[in-house]
Structures are given as structure tokens and as C-alpha cells.
Structure 1
Amino acid sequence: MAADAPAAALFDVDGTLVDTAYLHTLAWWEALRQYGHLVDAAPVHRAIGMGSDQLLDHLLGADRDRSDDEAISAAHLALYAQFWPGLRAFDGAADLLRACAGRGWRVVLCTSASGRELDVLRGALDADDAVFAVTDSDSVAVSKPAPDLVHSALERASAPAGRAVFVGDSVWDVRAANRAGTPCVGVETGGFAGEELRGAGAVEVHSSVGDLLASLDDSVLAHPRGGDR
């Protein structure tokens, strides 16, 4: 691999950079209830980080009647949108993106959100000056934990998998990154414990993006490196 190939720092947004994981849990729990699916909140939370196509299969089974899937997803989005005025980025999130960009990484937001939802998240983050590219759910056929979103982000950055690092908050992020051949740094901000993230294959874990920022010199994100990691 060429040492001068572009290097990409890929960031999940929901639950990683913006404090939304539990808001999504509440919105999915209520959307499912509205359509007759009484799913406990705990397994709903454990599925956050998947795209809606994967999440419904995971919670309701792949062999279910899918006739309500679009309506459930629309209800989730409508319920989640009620929280949009109060969305906030985690402390240090914007500074982390700027620090990575300043160290030579091409920063790519890699999110299952799209459309107006993505606009709201980017507004809460307020770090577009540090962002090289964005890839979203409209760019792929299959969402996380499939690797498609990570592949799309790498293409947007023109970076090979071995010159990239993914930062995410869920085991689904870690698995998607690993399947794409990209190491993943985990943060515990979405409610997954460090042991779970490491067990899924994260190369390092931090309690928050603020902690990652403070530890950046000792992280795989310290500086882009030539060759495979």
C-alpha cells in the first residue's frame, strides 16, 4: 500500500458524536407498540446502531409479515423528530473532528441517517469545516452491521481500508468496520460496555469522544500511518 495514500477517519454520528442512542430507543419502542409489537426497551436499545431494515429483522424476525415495515419506520422518524430541537453533540465531538482533520485525516461522517435527519445532526455537531465527506443510508443497499456503509465512506475519501479508522459506539459499528477491513475505535456513549466493544473487535475503547480527544496522542488516530495497520 502506498504510504502517501489518503487516510480516512470515519465517524458514526448517532450515539457517537451526537447524544441520540436513547432517544432512538424510545422512538422505536413506541413506533413498534403503535403497530402491535410489544418489545421490551432493553432489546430495542441493544439494536440501536443497525439501520432500520436490519433492526426490524433483528427484533421481529426475518420471517415476519413485513407489510407494516415502512409505516413503523415512518412512525419512528416522526417520534424521533420531536427530539430534534434539543439534540446536542457530545462534549469534545466537534473538536475531535477538527483535531483529526488537523493531523491529516480525511474526516468522513458515516451515518444511517439521511435527508432532514442528517441535516439536523450536522447542525447539532456544527463541525462541517472539518468534514471531508459524508455518506448516508441513501448510498447503500444494506445497512450496518453489513460493511456497505463503510465501503461507501472509504470510496468518498478515496482511502483504502488499511489507511482508515472507524469510530463508533455500538457492536454493530465494530462489526461493520471489521467486515470492511478497517479497525474500529469504540466509545461507550451509546450504552455498550467497553468489554462488549472489545469483544466485537474494537482495537481500543474510550468512555467518550472527549476522552478519545484527550488521549489522541496515544490512539491509533494520533497520525495517519503508511502501510497496513
Structure 2
Amino acid sequence: MRSGVLFDVDGTLVDTTYLHTVAWWEALRQRGADVPMAKIHRAIGMGSDKLLDHLLGPDRDRDQDEEASTAHDVLYGAWWERLRPLPGASELLRTVAGRGPAVVLASSAKEPELKLLRQVIDADDVITAATSSSDAEQSKPAPDILQAALDQSDVDPRAAVFVGDSVWDVQAAARLDIPCIGLACGGTSAGELTEAGAVAVYDDPAALLAALDDSAISSLFA
């Protein structure tokens, strides 16, 4: 087994969080649910099942859940050609890989979306493994997708660090006793990420890269 850094993708490496927010807002609005965007934004990072429970309550009529999820995917898909990496995303992955640890994408995106996200990041040559939604039985804050990332990359959880942008990322990592570095570029504040248990918070991938030798990741370098 080897050391490794697991990375969330949406909102951590690619600037998608607010696009997901708007897509869910419109998808829910089309089905008669008027949910404030601020509330939706704070739920991004969960899978659609848990997100809808969180936003609409577990006692809601679930008959429209699949339609709402499909509507979100269609609305979000309109932005695909304009997706952009967050500052320093590719450089961070390449630098980490060059220092020894495996670089693993712990994403809950569906396969077609993950393929696009990897193209946007443009660092496939240094990525050891990448998960998709089909690899997890439960979505974050359950740790399933992180466990799948560990299994696929042969990374030792005792020699791993996770990088994410939401409180759900931090909570999922905590369930596996993996330290989580928070990035504020998904729109969740440093205070919220720290309160959730993040060991440190940086503005974006470029800021983490600039402080890499002083970060929790440095303990993994040979």
C-alpha cells in the first residue's frame, strides 16, 4: 500500500458549485418547490437522494425525485462546454504526484460528467484512480466514495489526506479517520469548514499549492 491524496472534484478542482446550485433551484422550482439558493448551495456535495431529503424533508412525496434529478442533470449539462478548472488545480495535482503520493479523484459525479471534469482538469497522466457515482452505495457525508477511492488506488488510509470544499467532504473523511484539508473556493467559508473538522483551510488549489510544504500533505512526501 502507498500514501495518497484524495481530491473531491466539484467545487474543489473545477468551478461547478454555483452551477449545480442554480440547476437544482430551477429543477425544484419546475416541480413546485421554491427553495432559496443559499440553502441549496449548502447542500451541494451530497448525492441527489440525500440532497432532496435535506432540502424537502424525508416525508415528502418521492414520486418526482427521479424527474427532479434528471432535470438537474439537463440544466447543469447546458454549462458543460464552459466549465473551467479552479486556479492551480492541475498544477497542484502534478506537484503532489511528483513528490510521491498517489493522486486520486474521489468524485461522486456520473461517468459522462467525470470524463468531462477530467478533461477540464487536464492532469490525467498523474491521476492514479478516479471514482464515480456508481462506486458508492451511499453518497456523502457517508464515506463510501472515499473508501472506493482508497480501494481502487491501494492507498493506505493511515497515509492519506483528503481535499474537499464542503462540510460533507470533511464529515465523510472523519468517518474514516482521514484528515481533510478544506478549500473555500466552493463557497463554504473557512469558519464552517474548520468547525466541521478540517485540519486547515485554503482559498483554492493555488493557495494550497503555495503552502504545500507546510500543509498536512507534506507528511506524505518521501
TM over 0.5: yes
Q: For residues 135 and 49 of structure 1, what CA distance do their matches in structure 2 show?
A: 15
Corresponding residue number in structure 1 for 2:10: 14
Match of 2:97 among 94, 101, 111: 101
Measured at CA, do residues 15 and 60 of structure 1 come closer, stay the same or move farther in structure 2, by a change above 3 Å? same
Mapped pair 1:224 → 2:202:
no
Cα distance in 2, alignment partners of residues 121 and 99 from structure 1? 19
Give the counterpart letter for 1:86 in structure 2: R
The one-letter amino acid of 1:11's match is F
Matched to 1:111, the amino acid is: S
Whole-angstrom distance in 2 between the partners of 1:84 and 1:108: 22
CA deviation map 1:139-165 (0-9, x unaligned): 011000101111111111212221100
**CA deviation digits over 1:191-225, x for unaligned, max 9?**
11101101100011101110000110111112416
- Work out which of the residue numbers 117, 121, 129 in structure 2 matches 1:125: 121
Among candidates 59, 68, 71, match of residue 64 of structure 2: 68
Aligned ranges for residues 1-229 of structure 1 at < 5 Å?
5-224=1-220
Kept after mapping to 2: 8 A contact 1:93/1:125: yes
Amino acid at match of 1:151: Q
User: What secondary structure does 1:112 align onto?
Assistant: coil
List structure 1 runs of 4+ shifted beyond 2 angstroms: none
Counterpart-to-counterpart distance in 2, 1:102 and 1:222: 12
Tell me the SS of whatever aligns to 2:207: helix
For the Cα contact (< 8 Å) 2:146–2:172, is it kept in 1? Answer: yes
Distance change >3 Å, CA 225–CA 94, structure 1 → 2: closer
Matched-pair identity in % = 55
Per-residue CA distance 1:88-144 (angstroms, 9 max, x = gap): 001210010011111111111011101211111111111101100001110011000
State how far apart, in whole Å, the 2-side matches of 1:31 and 1:88 are.
23
Structure 1 unaligned residues grouped into runs of 5+? none
Q: Is the Cα contact below 8 Å between 2:101 and 2:221 reproduced in 1?
A: no
Structure 2: gaps of 5 or more residues: none
- State the one-letter code of the partner of 1:93: A
